[in-house]
Each structure stands twice: as C-alpha cells, then as structure tokens.
Amino acid sequence: MVWEKKLSEISISERMLDDKKGQLEKSKILVETRKEKISQIRREIAETEMLIREGEEKIPKGFKEKMKKLDSDIINLEKQKAVIEREIKSLEEKEKSAVVSKKLYENTEKSLAELREKKEKLELLVGKKQDIENKYQEALHSIQEMQSIRAVIIDESKTARDILSNIKDMKKCPKCRQDITEAHRIRLENDEREKLRRNEEKLKKIDDELLAINKKMLSAKEELESIRKAELDKNTLDANILNLEKRMVELKQEPSIEDIEKQKSQAIELLKSSTGILEKTIEERKSLEGIKKIDDELNKSRISLAASRSLLVAEEKEIKTLENNIRQLSSEISALDEKIKDKENVQKELARLNSELESIEAGYLENTKVHASLQTEAKMLETEITLLSNELKELDIKKKKLDEIREVSNWIDTVFLSIIDNIEKHVLISVYSEFNELFQEWFSMLIDNESMNARLDETFSPVIEQNASEIPVEHISGGEKTACALAYRLALNTVINDIISTIKTKDIIMLDEPTEGFSSEQLDKIREILDQLDMKQVIIVSHEPKIESFVQNIIKVSKNENGSVVE
C-alpha cells in the first residue's frame, strides 16, 4: 500500500509538472508581450517629450506670469467698474434725494415762517391776559358791590310794603314812634310809595348794569379761555418750530445737488477710463489666446507623459513579477523532475510486492470455508446495515420535513404574523369611522341625555363622556351599560356584514337580554332601532313583557324541576 501510494504521488507530480511547464510557457509569452508593450510605451514617451520641447520653444518666456497678471487685471478692473457703476447709481439716488430734500427744505422754511408768525400773534394774545384778568376781577368786584346795594334796596322795599300793607291798622308811626294821625298816615303812605318807586328805578338800573357787566365778564371769560387755549397751542407751536429748525439744520447738512452732480461727473469719467483700460486689457489677452491653446495642449501632453511613465513603471514591475514567477516555476519543475526519477525504483518494488501478494492469495484459498462463513456473516451485517440505512433515510426525510416545518413556522412568526397584523390594522382603520358613527348613533338613540356621549378609542373600546369628562364604563348605571353593549353589538354586526360579503345570515339577528335595566322610554327606542335595522328576522330573548308588543311571534319558556318547558 505504501508503494502504491508513492506511485500515485509520482503520477500526481507528473501532472503537476505538466501544469507547471504550461504555466512557465505562458509566463514567458507574457514577458515577451510586456516587453513589446514597454518598447511601444518608451517610443510614445520619446515622441511626447519631443512634442513638449517643440511646444515650449513656441511659448515666450514669462507667458504664464503675463496671462495670470492679465487675468488678475481683468478681474480687478471688472470689480472696479462694478464699484464705480454702483457709486454712480448711488449718486443718482442721492441726486433724486437731494432734489426732494431741497423741496422739503423750502417747504419746511415756509412752514417755519408761518408757525413763527402764528406764534407772534399768540404771544400778543397771551400778553393781553393780565389786563383781561384785571378787568374780569374789577367787574366781579362791581357785581358784588351792586348785589350788596341791591339787597339793601330790596330790604327797604320790603319794609315799605310791610308798612303800606299795615298802615290802616297802625296806631304809632314806625319811624318816630308817635301816635299816628290821619294826615300823618297819608304822608307816611305817600313817602313809602315814593320810596318804593325810587327803589324800583334803582333796582332796574342796577339790573341793567349787572346785565352789562355779566356780558363783559362772559366776553372776558371767553377771551381768557381763548388765551389758555392759545398758551397750549403756543407750547405745541414751540415744539413744532424746534422740530422744523432741527430738520432744516439736518437738511442743510445734506450734500447739495451741485456737489452730487460734480461727484457723478467725476465717477462717470473714472468709469470711462476704467472701461477703456479693461477693453485694452481684454484685447491684449485675446491676442495671447493662440499661445494659451498651445500651452493647454502642452499641459495635456505633460499629463499624458506622466501617465505613460506611470504605465511604464507598472509594466516593468509586472515583468519583474513574471520573471520571478518563471524562476520559481523552473525551481519547482526541477524538484518535480527529481521526484519523478524514483518512479522505476518504485515500480520494481511494487512488482516484488505483487509476487508476495500472489503467494498470500494462494494461502487465502485454503481458508475458503472460513471465508464462506465470514461472507455469510458479512451478508447478515450488510442486511442489518441496509435496514439501518433505510431507517437513516427515513429519519433524513423526517428531518427535512421538520426543517421545512420550522422554516414555515419561523416565516409565520417573523413575516406572516406581521403581515396579518398590518392587514388587520388597515382593515380596522377602514372600518373604524363607520363603526364609531354607528355606535354613537345608536347610543344616542338609547340614552336620551345630551350631556352624555359615547365614542370608540383607537383600540375599539367604548369611551363614555359626560360634560366633556371621561367616565369609566364600570361607573355608569346598569341601563347605560346595557345601552352601551347593545349599541356596540349592533354597530359590530352591521360593519361585519358590510365587510364580509359571503355571510349568509345578514338578514337575521339574535339578541339575548338586550334591555336589562332599560326604562320605558328606552324600550320604545328599541322598537325604532329594530325598524331602522330592517332585518327579515329578529330573535330576542328577554324577560321584559313590553317586548311582546314589538314582535309577531312569541315563544314562552318556563322552568320546572326537570328543566325548561315551552308553554
């Protein structure tokens, strides 16, 4: 067995030798190809270098620096031109503003003169204030004196009237306290009447004077009011005059139209000069465009030259690698040749071993019976092995099925359930609006309470609200709970029937104790809801006697000891 193994190894070495020789030939061909390519690259490099030298001779010295300077000058001149143009535009705006400012200055000057004139008139009016106040006080004093005199006259007249009214019954004179005679009585009466007449004339004269003084006082009061108003107006005028004077100072400080026009003329001249220089610079640069094209071509040639040199270095490096491979392959071929030289010795030794094997086989024939017994046992073992193999195959099949089941299970866990969950969410979202509207509609029909509302949350759970506050369902009354449950079941039944078209029981509905805790009014609402549902058949299980008036057929069931019995 050892020698056969060696012989097999030698055969493998022979095949490897052939492969290595083939690789060696291919490497030698590649080396020749690379060398030809390198020669071509070197020729191209030489041609490119010659073209570059010729091109460089055509470009004058300092060309690049001159081009850079011209480009820089053009950029700077264009910037300078733009700055001047902006300055001219700014001066034009200032010129417009100066015209407006001049007009505004003239108007302000005119307004200021008017205000000053008005101020002078007000000051004259305010200057009369003291005289008018003095006159007003004098008039007031006169009125007070005249009113005092008037009061005295009125008292005298009153006394005279009293005397006249009592004169017939008087026994003593009220003036001299003497006994009064008839002649004295007549004289006294005439005196008192004359006094009354004179007093009336005095009162009339005083009233006329008071009226005239009141008119003067009213006029003075009006004049004083005008003066007080004028004083206020004067303060406002002073403030306005001060503001206008400040504005005139500001307007006077602004540049004049003449100065702006002068600056504008200078800027226009500077713009013309800059434009001329820019045009000359651009013309000079255009004259160098031909040389620039040559320079651009030279740059391309230099880039191509650098690429060719890089390629040359890479090819030379590749040739070195191939030469190293050739040397390595040659070394490996030599080693394989040495290994193959032992082939004849191995073959001789193998022949000797075969001879020994034949003698052994002769001895083997003598043991045929033993061999037959062993064969029988071997067949039995083979049968057992076959059975075990079949079992293993069956187990492999079962294992594959189990792996498939696990894959399906894993797919269901990781993919299918997620898809179902998404489908369920989309379906629930699509039916949520209809479900919620139906639930709210039937709940509001069953619960006649405007302060109480019901809706569904995102998990389709009922939410009860009263006076804008949520109430847990477990805290509402029994009748309200029943109404909530019935509205939910009716809404759910309608939505399911709308979604699943294959349902065969759409026209039938069964309700078990739907009215527990309902009032009489709520029971009447049940009739309205049943009419609205418009079902062909409705089956209701209930202990409520009033329900019997809603249906066409009644089946009564009673309980006894043995169970339920239909009556």
Write the CATH number for 515: 3.40.50.300
Distance (Å, whole) CA 498 – CA 492 = 10
Burial (CB < 10 A; 0-12, 13-18, 19+), residue 446, is: buried
The boundaries of the domain holding residue 207 are 128-253
pLDDT at 453: 87
Residue 335 resides in a domain: no
Range 55-78 average pLDDT: 77
**Structural contact between residues 331 and 337, judged by C-beta atoms closer than 8 angstroms:** no
pLDDT at 458: 83
Helix, strand, coil shares of the chain, percent, nearest 5, are: 80, 5, 10
pLDDT at 378: 61
At 331, the amino acid letter reads S
Residue 362 resides in a domain: no
Highest mean pLDDT among 203-212, 248-257, 401-410: 203-212
Out of 234, 253, 272, a domain closes at 253
Return the CATH number at 187. 1.10.287.510
**Structural contact between residues 444 and 453, judged by C-beta atoms closer than 8 angstroms:** yes
pLDDT at 428: 67
pLDDT at 341: 63
Range 468-474 average pLDDT: 84
Distance (Å, whole) CA 157 – CA 151 = 10
**Structural contact between residues 246 and 114, judged by C-beta atoms closer than 8 angstroms:** no
pLDDT at 351: 66
Range 475-491 average pLDDT: 87
Convert the pLDDT of each residue in 221-241 to its tens digit.
787 777 777 767 767 777 777
pLDDT at 347: 60
Convert the pLDDT of each residue in 262-317 to its tens digit.
887 888 888 888 888 878 888 877 776 777 677 777 778 778 778 877 887 887 88
- What separation in angstroms does the CA of 209 have from each of 145, 147, 302? 12, 11, 125
Q: Is pLDDT larger for residue 9 or for residue 150?
A: 150
CB atoms < 10 A from the CB of 497, how many? 14
> Under DSSP, is residue 38 helix (H, G, I), strand (E, B) or coil?
helix
Query: CA nearest 350: which of 68, 4, 78, 43?
Result: 4
Convert the pLDDT of each residue in 520-539 to its tens digit.
888 888 888 888 878 888 89
Structure confidence at residue 250 as a pLDDT band (50, 70, 90): confident
Q: Is pLDDT larger for residue 391 or for residue 73?
A: 73
Structure confidence at residue 179 as a pLDDT band (50, 70, 90): confident
CA geometry: angle at 334 spanning 331 and 340, to 5°? 145
Out of 200, 228, 253, a domain closes at 253
pLDDT at 389: 67
- Torsion-angle region of 177 (φ positive above 0: left; ψ -120 to 50: alpha; else: beta): left
Range 441-456 average pLDDT: 85
pLDDT at 384: 65
For the chain, the average pLDDT equals: 78
User: With 60 as the cut, is the pLDDT of residue 108 above it?
Assistant: yes
Distance (Å, whole) CA 340 – CA 18 = 12
Structure confidence at residue 1 as a pLDDT band (50, 70, 90): low
CA geometry: angle at 133 spanning 129 and 137, to 5°? 175
pLDDT at 363: 60
CB under 8 A, 24+ apart: contacts of 144-148: 146/206, 146/209, 146/210, 146/213, 147/210
User: With 80 as the cut, is the pLDDT of residue 58 above it?
Assistant: no
**How many domains does the structure of the chain reveal?**
2
Q: Is pLDDT larger for residue 482 or for residue 371?
A: 482
Half-sphere exposure of residue 401, counting CA atoms within 13 Å on the CB side? 6
Q: At what angle do helices 129-166 and 63-127 cross, to 10 degrees?
A: 30
In this structure, is the dihedral angle defined by the CA atoms of residues 492, 498, 502 and 508, taken in order, positive or negative? positive
Residue 244 resides in a domain: yes
Q: At what angle do helices 289-340 and 257-287 cross, to 10 degrees?
A: 50
The 3-state secondary structure of 290-319 reads: HHHHHHHHHHHHHHHHHHHHHHHHHHHHHH
Helix (H) or strand (E) holding 509: strand 508-512
| DSSP state string for 40-80 | HHHHHHHHHHHHHHHHHHHSPTTHHHHHHHHHHHHHHHHHH
In this structure, is the dihedral angle defined by the CA atoms of residues 365, 366, 372 and 378, taken in order, positive or negative? negative
Distance (Å, whole) CA 561 – CA 54 = 129
**Structural contact between residues 70 and 284, judged by C-beta atoms closer than 8 angstroms:** yes
Residue 16 resides in a domain: no
- Torsion-angle region of 94 (φ positive above 0: left; ψ -120 to 50: alpha; else: beta): alpha
In this structure, is the dihedral angle defined by the CA atoms of residues 11, 13, 14 and 20, taken in order, positive or negative? positive
How many residues in the chain? 567
Range 192-212 average pLDDT: 87
Residue 64 resides in a domain: no
Range 44-52 average pLDDT: 81
**Structural contact between residues 434 and 495, judged by C-beta atoms closer than 8 angstroms:** yes
CB under 8 A, 24+ apart: contacts of 45-54: 45/305, 45/308, 45/309, 45/312, 48/301, 48/304, 48/305, 48/308, 49/305, 51/301, 52/298, 52/301, 52/302, 52/305
Out of 253, 286, 304, a domain closes at 253
Distance (Å, whole) CA 279 – CA 272 = 11
- With a pLDDT cut of 70, the percent of the chain lying above it is 80
CA dihedral 409, 410, 412, 413 (to 10 degrees): 120
Residue 465 resides in a domain: yes
Cα 418 → chain centroid: 32
User: With 70 as the cut, is the pLDDT of residue 183 above it?
Assistant: yes
**Structural contact between residues 24 and 329, judged by C-beta atoms closer than 8 angstroms:** yes
User: With 60 as the cut, is the pLDDT of residue 197 above it?
Assistant: yes
| DSSP state string for 425-472 | HHHHHHHHHHHHHHHHHHHHHH---TTEEEEE-TTS-EEEEETTEEE-
Distance (Å, whole) CA 562 – CA 266 = 127
Residue 282 resides in a domain: no
pLDDT at 501: 72
pLDDT at 366: 60
Distance (Å, whole) CA 93 – CA 78 = 22
Residue 511 resides in a domain: yes
Q: At what angle do helices 343-366 and 368-411 cross, to 10 degrees?
A: 110
Instruction: Please tell me whether the overall predicted TM-score, pTM, comes out greater than 0.85 for this model.
Output: no
pLDDT at 285: 73
Q: At what angle do helices 520-533 and 417-446 cross, to 10 degrees?
A: 130
User: With 70 as the cut, is the pLDDT of residue 409 above it?
Assistant: no
Structure confidence at residue 217 as a pLDDT band (50, 70, 90): confident
